[in-house]
């Protein structure tokens, strides 16, 4: 079992009000690596994944894989070798699966390998209703039988068959899960109204390098020609794409506090929607290949946004963006269209001095600029937790951020990396 960091001390002490300067590199994408790790079950021979971020959700996925019978070995700083030849356990470890939403994606390749999977409702950040009806309907249309007990789902699917499936609405993990089942199905699958997030064509690229036949990933219509039951052949070591949400978090940090912050190892195109919004707000963002340079403007203007599926303004940027808007001149409205419970952080932010009104579960108005004051806060979820780190770095005085497991779920050693930019942040 990989040693996890879950038992580490669990608060950040942050002394705010200091400008940040320097270079920060973006790591591999959480929402990509989780799906690639899950996909490793489709291989009987070992494969190697590089640029794997050392984050809690990755450790949890590795624990799930090991519980299912795979062997996972860390062979380099950010490099893992997975051998799924021993997969035999059809029960997803319930306590671990409940920790993170990405666990549902593992159901897909396990179904292919074992013909049956039992699993609890997947957990993850509490950001609104997160049903799995779209997954279940998809698997049923491929021939699955689904039984729902009080504690778990039990799905049987032998020899999945190709299908034409229209997502009632767009789902990222739903698209990925059905893709993973369809690649080895009998016949052709067409996924309509599929998600287009960059992690999806990246997963398709990984699978296609292994003998899968996926066309159209990155568009709303994906065609998958199944292998008819044949498992995949490992590609050359595959590097996980840079985390666009981490890149965006660093852009927002630079816009709030940067003298000059250089963000390296990223794909600027993946955060285009945020760059455009920041530029309209008066922030200078300079792009050079896989790097971006960002700095705090003399005067930050307020700007309203509406979250949207990719390539629109990403829901995961919403909380740290609201924090930035507390420093902007004027009122900005933020309309959250994807999730209905993603404003849990507002009350604490207002206690720090922000003036934010919640109009309804989908809309807030931020009045700025307001001075923020350090205080003790609980991290409510991953992205809001990062928003609180940003708020604490902006605030006058000392803040204590508790329950930072949520932040460690998606950001590798964020404290040490921020210290390298001159931030005063300690893990206690
Ligand atoms: N939905 C359904 N039924 C389903 C599935 C989804 O109604 O069966 C609804 C959801 O309730 C939501 C909407 O569809 O209102 C979109 O949800 P989606 O399924 O796209 O989200 P997800 O796949 O659960 C992934 C990321 C999230 C990210 C969203 C949106 C992973 C593991 N998670 O979640 O990332 O916010 O897409 O882009 O890939 C994060 O990294 O902090 C995070 C929450």
21, 66: one domain: no
359, 347: one domain: yes
133, 52: one domain: yes
Residue where one domain finishes, among candidates 239, 273, 294: 239
Ligand 1 atom, smallest distance to 124 CA = 44
Rounded to the nearest angstrom, the distance between the alpha carbon of 157 and the centre of ligand 1 is: 24
- Tell me the mean pLDDT in the region 385-390: 97
In a domain, 195, yes or no: yes
In a domain, 5, yes or no: no
pLDDT beyond 60 at 236: yes
Q: Which residues are catalytic?
A: 125
User: What is the pLDDT, as a whole number, of residue 1?
Assistant: 40
For the stretch 109-151, pLDDT in tens is: 999 999 999 999 887 666 667 899 999 999 999 999 999 998 8
Q: Which domain holds residue 256?
A: 11-27+242-427
- When the pLDDT of each residue in the chain is averaged and rounded to a whole number, the result is 95
The CATH number of whichever domain residue 121 belongs to comes to 3.65.10.10
Q: What angle do CA 98, 241, 197 make, to 5 degrees?
A: 70
Interatomic CA distance for residues 43 and 39, integer angstroms: 8
Polymer length of the chain: 428
Which residue's CA is the nearest one to ligand 1's atom 10? 130
Contact in structure between 16 and 421 (CB atoms under 8 Å): no
Where is 399: in which H helix or E strand?
Answer: strand 398-402
Task: Please give the full DSSP string across 190-228, using - where no structure is assigned.
Answer: EEES----THHHHHHHHHHTTT-EEE-BTBSEEEEE--S
Rounded to the nearest angstrom, the distance between the alpha carbon of 35 and the centre of ligand 1 is: 13
Ligand 1 atom, smallest distance to 315 CA = 36
Beta-bridge partners for 220: none
Rounded to the nearest angstrom, the distance between the alpha carbon of 171 and the centre of ligand 1 is: 6
User: What is the pLDDT, as a whole number, of residue 3?
Assistant: 39
For the stretch 374-383, pLDDT in tens is: 999 999 899 9
Contact in structure between 41 and 68 (CB atoms under 8 Å): yes
pLDDT beyond 80 at 6: no
Rg, C-alpha atoms of the chain: 21
- Tell me the mean pLDDT in the region 23-47: 98
- The distance of Cα 225 from the centroid of its chain, to the nearest Å, equals 28
122, 230: one domain: yes
Residue where one domain finishes, among candidates 221, 239, 257: 239
For the stretch 63-107, pLDDT in tens is: 999 999 999 999 999 999 999 999 999 999 999 999 889 899 999
pLDDT beyond 90 at 400: yes
134, 275: one domain: no
Interatomic CA distance for residues 124 and 126, integer angstroms: 6
Interatomic CA distance for residues 243 and 254, integer angstroms: 17
Lining residues, ligand 1, CB within 6 Å: 30-31, 34, 101-102, 125, 129-135, 169, 171-174, 195, 315-316, 338-339, 382-383, 410
Which residue's CA is the nearest one to ligand 1's atom 24? 173
Strands 221-225, 20-25: pairing is unpaired
Residue 419's contacts (CB-CB under 8 Å, 6 or more residues apart) are 425
In a domain, 1, yes or no: no
In a domain, 171, yes or no: yes
Interatomic CA distance for residues 90 and 67, integer angstroms: 9
Choosing from 39, 97, 130 the residue with most ligand 1 atoms within 8 A of its CB, the one to mutate for a pocket test is 130
Residue 10's contacts (CB-CB under 8 Å, 6 or more residues apart) are 402, 403, 404, 405
Residue where one domain finishes, among candidates 194, 224, 239: 239
For the stretch 340-371, pLDDT in tens is: 989 999 999 999 999 999 999 999 999 999 99
Total count of domains within the chain: 2
- Tell me the mean pLDDT in the region 416-425: 98
385, 264: one domain: yes
Which residue's CA is the nearest one to ligand 1's atom 32? 102
212, 251: one domain: no
């Amino acid at each position: 079992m990989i040693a996890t960091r879950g038992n580490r001390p669990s608060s950040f002490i942050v002394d705010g009000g200091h400008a940040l300067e320097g270079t920060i590199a973006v790591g591999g994408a959480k929402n990509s690596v989780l799906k690639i790790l899950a996909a490793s079950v489709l291989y009987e021979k070992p494969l190697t994944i590089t640029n794997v971020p050392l984050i809690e959700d990755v450790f949890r996925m590795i624990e799930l894989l090991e519980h299912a019978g795979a062997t996972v070995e860390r062979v380099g700083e950010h490099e893992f070798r997975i051998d799924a030849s021993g997969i035999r356990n059809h029960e997803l470890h319930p306590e671990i699966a409940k920790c993170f939403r990405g666990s549902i994606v593992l159901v897909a390749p396990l179904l292919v390998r074992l013909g049956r999977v039992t699993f609890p409702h997947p957990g993850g950040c509490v950001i609104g209703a997160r049903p799995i009806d779209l997954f279940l309907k998809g698997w049923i249309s491929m021939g699955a039988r689904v039984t729902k007990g009080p504690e778990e789902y039990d799905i049987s699917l032998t020899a999945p068959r190709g299908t034409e499936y229209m997502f009632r609405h767009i789902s990222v993990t739903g698209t990925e899960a059905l893709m993973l089942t369809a690649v080895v199905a009998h016949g052709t699958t067409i996924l309509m109204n599929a998600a287009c997030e960059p992690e999806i064509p990246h997963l398709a690229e990984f699978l296609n390098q292994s003998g899968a036949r996926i066309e159209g990933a990155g568009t709303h219509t994906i065609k998958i020609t199944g292998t008819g039951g044949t498992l995949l052949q490992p590609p050359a070591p595959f590097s996980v794409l840079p985390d666009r949400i981490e890149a965006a978090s660093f852009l927002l940090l630079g816009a709030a506090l940067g003298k000059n912050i250089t963000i390296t190892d990223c794909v600027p195109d993946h955060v285009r929607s945020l760059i455009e919004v920041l530029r309209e707000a008066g922030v200078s963002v300079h792009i050079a290949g896989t790097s971006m340079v960002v700095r705090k403007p003399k005067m930050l203007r307020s700007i309203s946004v509406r979250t949207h599926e990719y390539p629109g303004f990403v829901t995961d940027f919403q909380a740290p963006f609201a924090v930035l808007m507390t420093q902007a001149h004027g009122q900005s409205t933020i309309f959250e269209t994807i999730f209905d419970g993603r404003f849990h952080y507002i009350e604490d932010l207002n206690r720090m001095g922000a003036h934010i009104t919640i109009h309804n579960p989908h809309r807030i108005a931020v009045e700025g600029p307001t001075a923020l004051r350090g205080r003790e806060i609980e991290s409510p979820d991953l992205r809001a937790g990062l928003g609180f780190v940003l708020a604490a770095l902006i605030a006058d005085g000392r803040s204590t951020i508790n329950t930072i497991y949520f932040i460690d779920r998606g950001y590798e050693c964020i404290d040490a990396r921020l210290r390298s930019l001159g931030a005063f942040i300690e893990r206690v």
